[in-house]
Chain A
Amino acid sequence: MLTVGYGKVKPVIIGKNQPLVFIGGPCAIENRDHAFYMADHISKICSKLSMPWIYKSCYDKDCRSAPESFHGLGVDHGLRILSDVRDEFGIPVVSDFSDPAWATATGEVCDMVQVPAYLCRQTSILKAAAATSRPIHLKKGQFMSPWNMKNSVRKIEAAGNYQILLADRGTFFGYNMLVNDFTSLPIMARTGYPVCFDATHSIQLPTSMGNISGGQREFIPNLVRAAAACGIQALFIETHNDPANAMSDSNTVLDLNYLEFVLTQAKAIHEARLNLIAELGEDRVHSEAQ
């Protein structure tokens, strides 16, 4: 079980038999006003649904396909805005970091630090994340098997951090295509850590548009329902009030207008699953030939 939140923010608990936690926000921090606008609107939705949540937005987008794509506000400016968001709204915040040199600053502000999927094997990033002493949102690389994520987990543990959330964000299926193998969720859960489903990156078509990524966001509700039924402790969705003009991941972010619709379903399915476990017990179908 993870507790995300330090200082004055209301801590969010991610764990077995706990309410489903939403992690979301705009992919990139675009500016202070927009960050506040998004935090305010998501806060209202999550408050209405009684859903604990963590604001996610990144200050540096190092995996853009094109050099002219928006790269982010940078570590100092971005973290100042995230710090203001957590102060103003009293919610935990998370950002990824793609350079070990940014880990300390990220951990000083953020309640949780995120390891990008493409970097999930990089020892230097994992050690730097562990050294922040914050909970770590570790995304399964699109090229990784779920069982091999144990190696990344062990690297973090070896560095003395035992607060990990493992996420599935899709797996490469040939070129420019991702699929979701939902067995990845229970397989990663065998590490003993909670698991998260990243819906908006799962529907991404990586670099399918030549110099940017495409996406099939019409499938977000389907995948969210499937993941919640499969068993997750957190749900990750990037959302934007104007996806067409989003400065990052414009083809995959969920329109803010649909967020309540999707979260309502995720929460209902999560609670139904917990009720079934309470009534029938945990899954106990044996995995191997007897």
Chain B
Amino acid sequence: MLVSHVMLPLDKFPVLKQNEIFKVCLDEMCRYRLGIACIVDESGRLLGIFTDGDLRRALLKNQKPIPSLYIDDVLDHGTLSPLHVFPSDSLSSAIEMMELHHVWDLPVLDSSSHLVGLLHLHPVVKALLPSHTL
């Protein structure tokens, strides 16, 4: 089974423009009920990600008023050059990457670094259940 078989399409997870602010990012993550947002440039190339972990770290490090944090560019608090996989990667190698780095979301990129999807652990587990067939 390949990553492309179970990855979430672009309209099923938060994808933000590069100058989107922190508050809007949190809104989008709540709306999709996912702990990750992907941040892309004008052409759709992945610039970074912002995760629940980044949120925890930002809150713990933050010493300024929360309204000031809310209007920061979210990319300033995100993870640049994140781990990623490609649509043609095998699902098992992607799972190994998740296990190795203790993450359960991986952006999926094409050969030009354009974001094409998101590999989220829950659909992966569902796909691997014995009752599920592709």
For residue B132, CB closer than 8 A to chain A, the reply is: no
Bound: A150/B67 CA distance, A: 12
Task: Give the shortest distance, in Å, between A115 (CB) and chain B (any CB).
Answer: 19
- Contact size class for B? 10 to 19
List chain A residues, Cβ under 8 A from B60. Answer: 289
Residue of A nearest to B63 (CB): A288
Type the 1/0 row for B58-69, where 1 means its CB is closer than 8 Å to any CB of A: 001111110110
In the complex, the answer to whether A145 meets B67 with C-beta atoms within 8 Å is yes
B37-67: CB near A (< 8 Å → 1, else 0) gives: 0000000000000000000000011111101
CB neighbours of A150 from chain B (8 A): 21, 71
- Interface membership of A147, Cβ < 8 A: yes
A245 at the interface (CB under 8 A from B): no
Min distance, Cβ A288 to any Cβ of chain B, angstroms: 4
- Whether B71 and A288, one on each chain, are in contact in the complex, defined by CB atoms closer than 8 angstroms, is no
Partner among B61, B63, B68 whose Cβ is within 8 Å of the Cβ of A147: B68
Measured in the bound complex, the distance between the Cα atoms of B72 and A288 in whole Å is 14
Q: Does A31 contact B (CB under 8 A)?
A: no
Taken together as a complex, chains A and B put the C-alpha atoms of A287 and B60 apart, in Å, by 13
A169 to chain B, nearest CB (A): 20
Which residues of chain B have C-beta atoms less than 8 A from A147's C-beta? 67-68, 71-72
**B62, A148: Cβ atoms under 8 Å?**
no
**0/1 per residue, B1-45, Cβ < 8 Å to A?**
000000000000000000101000000000000000000000000
Q: B64 — which chain A residues lie within 8 A by C-beta? A: 287
A47 within 8 A of B: no
A151 at the interface (CB under 8 A from B): yes
CB distance from A155 to the nearest CB of B (A): 13
Residues facing B in A242-290 (CB within 8 A) are: 287-290
Task: Give bound CA distance, A145 to B65, whole Å.
Answer: 11
- Proximity bits, B73-116, A CB within 8 Å = 1, else 0: 00000000000000000000000000000000000000000000
A142-173 residues with Cβ-Cβ distance < 8 A to B are 145, 147-148, 150-151, 154
Nearest Cβ distance between residue A8 and chain B, in whole angstroms? Answer: 38
Q: Check if A145 sits within 8 Å of B68, measured CB to CB.
A: yes
Q: In the bound complex, what is the Cα–Cα distance between A288 and B64 (angstroms)?
A: 9
Interface string of A109-152 (1 = CB under 8 A from B): 00000000000000000000000000000000000010110110
Contact indicator A148/B67 (Cβ below 8 Å): yes
Cβ–Cβ < 8 Å partners of B68 in chain A: 145, 147, 187
- Say whether B71 contacts A151, CB under 8 Å: yes
Q: A288–B67 contact, CB under 8 A? A: no
Q: Which of B21, B63, B65 contacts A287 (CB 8 A)?
A: B63
Q: Name which residue of chain B comes closest to A154, CB basis.
A: B19
Task: Please name all residues of chain B whose beta carbon is closer than 8 Å to the beta carbon of A187 when the two chains form the complex.
Answer: 68
C-alpha gap A150/B65 in the complex (Å): 15
User: In the complex, how many angstroms separate the beta carbon of A189 from the nearest chain B beta carbon?
Assistant: 14
Select which of B61, B67, B71 is within 8 A of A289 by beta carbon. Answer: B61
Cα distance A289–B60 when bound, in Å?
Answer: 8
Which residues of A are found within 8 Å of B19, using beta-carbon distances? 154
Q: Which residues of B contact A289 (CB under 8 A)?
A: 60-61, 63
Q: Which residues of B contact A148 (CB under 8 A)?
A: 67, 71
Q: How far is the CA of A288 from the CA of B57 in the complex (A)?
A: 11
* CA gap between A276 and B61 in the complex, in Å: 29
* Cβ contacts under 8 Å, A154 to chain B: 19
Q: How far is the CA of A89 from the CA of B93 in the complex (A)?
A: 72
Q: How far is the CA of A290 from the CA of B67 in the complex (A)?
A: 21
CA distance A151 to B65 in the complex (A): 17
Complexed CA–CA distance, A187 and B65 (Å) = 13
Give me the 3 closest cross-chain CB pairs, A-B, nearest first: A288-B61, A147-B68, A147-B71
23 pairs, A vs B, C-beta closer than 8 Å: A145-B65, A145-B67, A145-B68, A147-B67, A147-B68, A147-B71, A147-B72, A148-B67, A148-B71, A150-B21, A150-B71, A151-B71, A154-B19, A187-B68, A287-B63, A287-B64, A288-B61, A288-B62, A288-B63, A289-B60, A289-B61, A289-B63, A290-B61
